[in-house]
A and B are shown apart, each in its own frame.
Chain A
């Protein structure tokens, strides 16, 4: 095999116009409606017509029977670059890195990356039921615990192996709620105390209520374009130093205790030209707090198994020693 090629930088490409359509616990609207609102906010935010958007990456679990192509027609788009990324929590980064390359290569000038889902009463149960073939054949019929049960197994195993305690997970959840209270669009408006976290009702041992992702309706989006395009539109923007993507890493592990980050972390920092010390804010994908803890380790902020101690020795609020998961970029539209 040839020596690994050094990946091209993302120079000249930026992400801009972040939009967030305020979430609702339940919605009578369709995913199309939510995605349409995000797309409109993107066009308005950029001061362009949505017809000028020639690249479209759509992430959703709830557009059936439509895939991305159906949405282009629905929304009056005529893109020359189109991607459909029904991959849940990783869709944001996946959309970003795909769109960045498309724009860099000239396949699209302005790419809209939109994630949107609706949550109608009972639609989440149906999503779980039909999540994947393996889930259907080999996970869901075993108590129908959905993601809660799967992550309960991961969390229990992690706790047993590395000595994490519920309090450690709780500390992350409480800090995250504190941060969220400063976001006017946040769905949860009340403070969460560690005591409430600890006393919450059990969902799937050791997962309790405040560990759980809450199904809801909402949409998010951003645009990817060349830096000079952003400048000519007068848009503040962010450059991309590095990205990594790795699916189904370490598939021989009996129970997951590390993720693909651990495999590609070297490349993440070498491509970025910085080390973890230079990072001010960390956003992890927080489907469950154990996964955030795993990411602290796998992204090099501490060693494997040191996640619990790392959490005990840091504070995760906006003004804490390790600001973590503090989204409040939402334009209130």
Chain B
């Protein structure tokens, strides 16, 4: 059984912060089929489109029939751990800091034999469940865990390297006026976060639910205006070194018609609130987080962006939201590439219209704040890069994969 994680000790101010080292990150282009599945938390392997045989490692020709139609499809997760080893010595700097390290050979129920990272509870000869994970370098790896769940499984040290579990971590929610704020705060506290900082702009304006937020242990409301670079840097100077998970809730949902005279100005307001806000955050908090990717139990672990699913395809009714969030999506890829060097993940949480006043005109199904918060916690616990919360977001994701043109034509109807 897994030892429960111990709360981190108070940091010794004289101790050097460990530099983030990354596991070996070279992969073939074909192997990124696994990356795609791992980023969304699916277990997918190549399956031959002609003979139907599952194959692994990723190949460019089927070893059974030499077909080149090898497609990554969802695969059964079950398997048996046939043998394992505990590595004590490695030439690799990252793994050196994590010795000893277990690996084993799993015979998957669907056929292939797979070398996998092992959860400490795995026993030779026993059944395991396989999953694809993104390791500290953001590259796809197979992880095997006992098929029987046990307590504290999530605290396994190897697994924690591949996830961004909020337990014992400190969280910054950047825009306290986002309708999901209270749900997010509660979910993070329930998930074991030590403290939650909530940024609030224009403190003179009343904040919905302020009393309730203030009453939660470990929650601090702090002045933060994402559109004001000085405000962002001021807060970063105070707390950037103790933000382990940053949840960027910058948003600005306003109805804008493309042909209205004020359209350009309104679009720029949305861009300022979201894109410039995210850029300011990236500049102020990004370097500190990227420098603390290996800082023990409460290392910097993840950056979360809340994005509208309309970032993936422009919904004319919310055209300005689509434009600004599409720009944020692109910015997130830029930021992800920088954070990855520091072993910090970036999770984009795509949601359909929220159940709030700005989406009043949108029919059900809409996304509740609780649903969004639960989705984000789950995504962090699994170390994902993309989650789609709610039926609308999942529908858009599926249609985008199937036929982007059909999505473009239909999303406005």
Residues of A near any B CB (own CB < 8 A) = 124-125, 128-130, 133-134, 136-146, 148-149, 152-153, 156-157, 160, 201-207, 251, 254-255
Contacts and interface: CB of A to CB of B under 8 A. Distances in A.
Interface stretch (B86-94, B167-175, B224-232, B254-262): B86-94
18 contacts: A128-B91, A136-B28, A137-B28, A137-B31, A137-B57, A138-B58, A142-B115, A143-B102, A144-B94, A145-B89, A148-B87, A153-B85, A153-B115, A201-B89, A202-B88, A202-B89, A203-B87, A254-B107
Interface of B: 23-28, 30-31, 56-58, 63, 82-92, 94-95, 101-105, 107, 113-117, 124, 135, 137, 139, 141
A160 B58 CA distance: 30
Given A149-B85, A254-B107, A142 B91 contact: no
Given A137-B28, A145-B90, A202-B88, 5 more contacts: A138-B57, A143-B101, A148-B87, A204-B85, A205-B85
Contacts of A205: 85-86, 88
B82 to A, nearest CB: 5
Contacts of A156: 83-85, 124
Contacts of B139: 141
Contacts of B89: 145, 148, 201-204
B88 A203 contact: yes
Contacts, number: 114
Given A137-B58, A152-B85, A142 B103 contact: yes
B24 A138 contact: no
Contacts of A140: 24
Contacts of A129: 24, 26, 92
A110 B86 CA distance: 48
A144 B23 contact: yes
A220 B189 CA distance: 65
B103 A254 contact: no
Contact of A255 (B23, B31, B83): B83
B91 A144 contact: yes
Nearest to A142: B103
B82 A255 contact: yes
Contacts of B105: 153, 157, 254-255
Contact of A204 (B30, B31, B86): B86
B82 A138 contact: no
Nearest to B125: A160
A7 B246 CA distance: 69
Contacts of B57: 133-134, 137-138
A299 B73 CA distance: 42
A302 to B, nearest CB: 23
Contact of B92 (A125, A139, A207): A125
B31 A160 contact: no
A50 to B, nearest CB: 36
Nearest to A158: B83
Given A144-B95, A254-B113, A149 B82 contact: no
Of A125, A130, A142, A203, the most chain B CB neighbours within 10 A belong to A142
